[in-house]
Amino acid sequence: MKKHGALNSEIDKLLADLGHTDQLTIGDLGLPVPTGVKKIDLALKLGSPSFEEVLSVMQQEMAVEAIVLAEEIKTENAEQWQLIQKTFPNVPIRFVPHEAFKEETKESKAIIRTGEATPYSNIILQAAVIF
């Protein structure tokens, strides 16, 4: 049994399989999952696990070179926006309208569904290379 990091076997395998520029989405309860994209559903109850909890584990486990966010997060969920800036201070962020964000999730290797119930608590993480 693993002692640290992502203990969810699906997430652990997903992270190990990611290549440079592959994308992974972390989403709130309401983010739709496009047909053909793997969904890893962690939602246990409303608010649990939180977006912050899942994002923290991903920050520790995944090399990230770029982020995509819905531009609406800046005005509609300042708390999550501040969290993302604090968690990934040196990672470039590209903003797109929320509808375009949902389209971009079609390129993700998987969407991790959290129990988060606040608007625009969604992020696309683009994998970096570790060398």
| Residue 41 labelled as part of a binding site | no
| Residue 4 labelled as part of a binding site | no
Cα–Cα distance for residue pair 17/43, rounded to 1 Å: 23
| Residue 98 labelled as part of a binding site | yes
54: buried, middle or exposed (CB in 10 Å: 19+, 13-18, 0-12)?
Answer: buried
Amino acid at 41: D
Per-position DSSP letters for 67-80, written without gaps between them: EEEETTHHHH-HHH
Q: Is 4 a catalytic residue?
A: no
DSSP secondary-structure letter at 119? Answer: T
Tokens of 63: 């090399």
Residues in the chain: 131
Contact present, 112 and 61 (Cβ < 8 Å):
no
Q: Which of 20, 32, 38, 103 is catalytic?
A: 20
Annotated binding-site members for substrate: 28, 98, 120-122
Known catalytic residues?
A: 20
Annotated binding-site members: 28, 98, 120-122
